[in-house]
Amino acid sequence: MPPSLQVDLAPGRKSSLLLKNPVMPASGTFSWGLEFAKHYDIEQLGAVVSKGVTMAARSGNAQPRVAETPAGMLNSIGLQNIGIDSCISDMAPTWARWRVPVIVNIAGDTIDEFGQMTRMLDDVPGIAAIELNISCPNVDQGGIEIGQDISASARATRAAVRNTDLPVIVKITPNVTDPVALALACEAEGAAAICAINTVLGLAIDLRRREAVLPRARGGLSGPAIKPIALRIVHDVSKAVRIPVIGCGGISTGEDAVEFLMAGATAVQVGTASFANPRALLDVLEGLQSWMVANGVDDVHQLIGCALPPG
Ligand SMILES: Cc1cc2nc3c(=O)[nH]c(=O)nc-3n(C[C@H](O)[C@H](O)[C@H](O)COP(=O)(O)O)c2cc1C
C-alpha cells in the first residue's frame, strides 16, 4: 500500500480544506497555475496557490526586480497582477474544473480591503480557501506594514474571517521579533491555518554602480538560504497554536519537506525552487513519498510534529 498523504488544513471548520497530499506551490511562484498545467498534471498536487491578488490590477515595481544571491534570490516584484475582478471572471471558471483545491492569495492595501476582497471571493466556484498576504515586503501600503503590527494583523484576519465561510490562512512575515505572538493573535481571530514564512528582508549592492541592485533597495530573500529561519519559525509557531501550520521557505526536496513536517507543519509550499526546476513540486512530492516508503512511515501524520518537544 502506498503511504497515506492526506491532510486537513481546516479541521472542524464550516468549509473543509482536505488535501490529497501536503505539497503545494508558494504564492507568486506558480502564477495562476494555468501555465504549469500545460506542462504536467497539476491535479497531482495537494493544492494550487495563486499569485497575490490586489483590488486593482498592478504593473509592479521598476526593473530590475530580482537579484541572485548565494543560496537564494532577492525579489521586489511589487505584486504585479491582474486585479481581483479579472481573477474572479477569467481564472476562477478554469479553477472550478480542476480536481485540486485552489487557494487565492490576497493583498489588501488596508485592513478594510482584506474584508472587501474576501467578501468578493466568498462563494465563487473554484476557490477553496483564501490566504492573506499581510507580509509582502515590496509594496508601500498593506503588506509587511500590516504584518509587522500584531494588532493590525489580528484586525486584517478578523476582517477576512467575518466575510467568508471559506478557510482563511494567514501568511506571516519572518521580519518580526515574535512570530509566535503574531500567529497566536491571528488564530484568536479565527484563522484556519498559519502559513510561515514569507520572504526575509534583504539587500544587494551593485559594486559598479555603487548603489543597491533593486530600485527600492530592499527586497525579499527566498530560497535555500532562508530554510533554517523558516524551520525555526514553523517549529516555534507549531508548538504554540492549535491550528495547522503550512511550512514555506527554501524547500526544494522531499527531505526538506520531511524536515518541515517533523517541525510541526501539516503541509508545505515550494516557491523559488520552481524557477530553477519547473518540476520541483513533483520532485518534492515524489521525494516525500519515497522517503516515507524507505523509512516505513505509512501515514504522513506520523511525521507531523514528531520533532516537537512533548506536551
Ligand atoms: C518572485 C516571487 C514572488 C512572490 N510573490 C508572492 C505573492 O504574491 N504573495 C505572497 O504571499 N508571497 C509571495 N512570495 C513569497 C513566496 O510565496 C514564499 O513565501 C517565499 O518565496 C519563501 O519560499 P521559497 O524559499 O520556497 O521561495 C513571492 C516570492 C517570490 C520569490
Closest-lying ligand 1 atom to the alpha carbon of residue 270 = 26
- Looking at the DSSP assignment, which residues form a beta bridge with residue 196? 172, 247
Over the stretch 272-285, which tens digit does the pLDDT of each residue have? Answer: 999 999 999 999 99
pLDDT of residue 62: 92
Which residues of the chain are modeled with pLDDT < 50? none
Closest-lying ligand 1 atom to the alpha carbon of residue 195 = 19
Test site for ligand 1: of 114, 197, 222, most ligand atoms within 8 A of the Cβ: 222
pLDDT of residue 194: 98
CA distance 306 to 25: 24
Closest-lying ligand 1 atom to the alpha carbon of residue 251 = 26
Q: How far is the CA of 239 from the centre of ligand 1 (A)?
A: 24
Check 136, 186, 195, 248 and give the catalytic one. 136
Test site for ligand 1: of 76, 153, 198, most ligand atoms within 8 A of the Cβ: 198
Residue nearest to atom 26 of ligand 1 (CA): 271
136 is catalytic: yes
pLDDT of residue 116: 98
Q: How far is the CA of 208 from the centre of ligand 1 (A)?
A: 28
